[in-house]
Amino acid sequence: MKSFRTVLFWAHLAAGTAAGMVILIMCVTGVALTYEKQMLEWADRRAWPAPSSADARPLPPETLLAKVVEAQPGAAPIGLTLRADAAAPATVTLDGNKALLVDPYTGAIIGPPPTGLRTFFRTMTVWHRYIAMEGDSRATGRGVTGAANLIFLFIVISGLYLWVPRLWTWIQFKNVLWFRSSLAPKARDFNWHNVIGFWSALPLAIVVAGAVPISYPWASNLVYRIAGDTPPPPPAQAARPADRTDVTYISGGIDGAWSAAQAQIPSWRTMTTRLAASANAPVVISVDEGYGGQPQKRTTFTITRASGAVVKAEDFQSLSAGRRLRTWLRFAHTGEIYGLSGQTIAGLASLGGAMLVYTGLMLALRRLASWIGRQRALREPVGDRPRAA
């Protein structure tokens, strides 16, 4: 009877061989997406306006939006983002999710955000989520990457068990704790596979596990149940009219709401609001003290349009235990929840995952070649087999 370790090894090998190429794509694109937000901001700075004088004051949000409509008749702003950085432009989102950079001091339109890096990251995202499938095929691509990610989680967890030596001696542990030099290709790949797997297993497991609830509703519901919460109902699919030219987005009341939100969090870094289509709807403003991927630094305010009174303030701590865990997993997947250091660890874990796939596939191919060689030798007549020296 085969031992549990042997059965687990063959399951580990079969899973890696079956899903290896898709996992490799996800790991490589994950590395490319590591510092997406920081790199986009760095690229956008070239389009930022010249610094204004020290006594200049940014225009009120309503005035800013009015100047955009004045400069582009027919434009329908649906969102506004302002940054605390005095040199940063405002970002106005138009119907159709088109963005414009606007000088916050004059209302002059700078133009759309630079497209170079955005095109690159968009391509990496499409490969990462859908293995480059577009249109109706995206559902298929998402299914493939979701299944491969689930298999990858099994590979990482089973690998952590397999990487622990059978004999708990220092010499055995030393072979999986650090790289050894002057090894033959097969021994080198085995050493790299073990060392990288040992050091990257924990962060890689968190990164991979964080993606499972994104791919599968049952996994998302499981996260809520683990935290002792009732899973939320599926989000309703809002009907989107084919012709939205008759929709008017209300900007009135934003100035007072904006001032109220700023007073609540003076250390804000970015503030974003989506305009409502009803004058009776409250103003909802998201205030972020981080880079967008740290939910513990984001607060969403619901503010009355008429009086500017804060009706509701929702931050990370006010969420239910299940939603906090679900949100933590989402941003632990990218490492963003722990800022730049977390992103770096997640990126290195993804790089380690790519190396694990490469070394694992090379070991599997060498094992297959060796098996084929043995089968050929067994089929040869005894007299034709080479004699041992």
Instruction: Please compute the mean of the pLDDT values over residues 86-102 and round it to a whole number.
Output: 89
Name the amino acid, one letter, at 290.
G
For residue range 52-86, list pLDDT tens digits in order. Answer: 666 778 899 999 999 999 998 888 899 999 999 88
Q: How confident is the model at residue 243 (pLDDT cuts 50, 70, 90)?
A: very low
Q: How confident is the model at residue 171 (pLDDT cuts 50, 70, 90)?
A: confident
- Please report the pLDDT score of residue 160 as a whole number: 87
Mean per-residue pLDDT for 191-209? 93
How far apart (Å, rounded) are the C-alpha atoms in residues 308 and 282? 9
Cα distance between residue 185 and residue 363, in whole Å: 9
| pLDDT of amino acid 53 | 65
Task: State mean pLDDT over 190-215.
Answer: 93
Measuring CA to CA, how many Å separate 290 from each of 66, 83, 338?
A: 29, 11, 10
d(CA 276, CA 273): 9
Q: What is the pLDDT of residue 326?
A: 96
The per-residue pLDDT for range 260-293, each reduced to its tens digit, is: 999 999 999 999 999 988 888 999 999 999 988 8
Q: For the chain, how far is it from start to end, CA to CA, in angstroms?
A: 35
Helix (H) or strand (E) holding 71: helix 61-71
Q: Assess whether pLDDT exceeds 90 at residue 242.
A: no
Q: State the average pLDDT for the chain.
A: 89
List the one residue out of 195, 187, 185 whose CA is nearest residue 163: 195
pLDDT of residue 241: 45
CA angle 341, 342, 343 (to 5 degrees): 90
Of 146, 291, 144, 295, nearest in space to 217 by CA: 146
Q: Compute the distance between CA of residue 193 and CA of residue 358 in angstroms, rounded to an integer.
A: 9
| Strand locations in the chain (E) | 77-83, 90-94, 98-102, 109-111, 270-274, 283-288, 298-303, 310-315
The percentage of residues in the chain with a pLDDT greater than 70, rounded to a whole number, is 92
The answer to whether 299 and 268 are in contact (CB under 8 A) is no
Q: Which of 301, 319, 214 is nearest to 260 (CA)?
A: 301
Assign 314 a pLDDT band (cuts: 50, 70, 90). very high
What does the buried/exposed string (b/e) look like for 78-113 if buried means 16 or more CB atoms within 10 Å of the residue's CB? bbbbbbeeeebbbbbbbeeeeebbbbbbebebeeeb
Token representation of residue 166: 């059978």
- Contact present, 11 and 157 (Cβ < 8 Å): no
Q: Left, alpha or beta for 111 (phi > 0: left; psi -120 to 50: alpha)?
A: left
Whole-model pTM above 0.75? Answer: yes
**How far is Cα of residue 327 from the mean position of the Cα atoms in its chain?**
12
Cβ-contact 341, 247 below 8 angstroms: no
Cα(290)–Cα(273) distance, integer angstroms: 16
Task: State the residue for tokens 């990257």.
Answer: 200
Rounded CA-CA distance 122/113 in Å is: 14
Rounded mean pLDDT, 38-48 = 85
CB neighbours (10 Å) of residue 266?
Answer: 8
